[in-house]
Amino acid sequence: MIDVRDSGDFAATVLRAPAQHKGCTYTLTGSASLSLRDAAAELGEVYGTPIAYQPVTPDDAQRSMVDAGLSAWMAAVNKEYLTAYSEGWGDYTTPDFEKVMGRPARSFADFARAHAPQIRP
């Protein structure tokens, strides 16, 4: 996971000096690999109240998305991503953000503190 503010900062940096980035491919990640269970635990620490993570199977998630009005095709695509991530597909970080920006990406806890009014349980 990467903070949306970091994504914006990164894009602005690249757009200000496109020649320096010509031909480059970047994979932006936060500074730590974080599961949804980890994110719930960190939110609980930031807000001082336990937050329980309740896993949902990809099949159940797909059904819920269709029931909520998402197209069957889009729900199937989302299910594929959920399956891949649940099997560790996104369990990595890259040095790309820090290499270009000269600073580490913000932590999830920083994101949670900054957006507390919007996401506080």
Report percent pLDDT > 90 for the chain.
72
pLDDT at 121 over 70: no
pLDDT for residue 86: 86
| pLDDT, average across residues 9-16 | 98
Alpha helices in the chain (DSSP H): 4-16, 18-21, 36-47, 58-67, 72-86, 96-101, 108-114, 116-119
**Per-residue pLDDT, 85:** 86
pLDDT of 118 reads: 84
Largest Cα span, the chain: 47
- Domains and their CATH numbers in the chain: 1-33+92-121 (no CATH), 34-91 (3.90.25.10)
Confidence of residue 21 (pLDDT cuts 50, 70, 90): very high
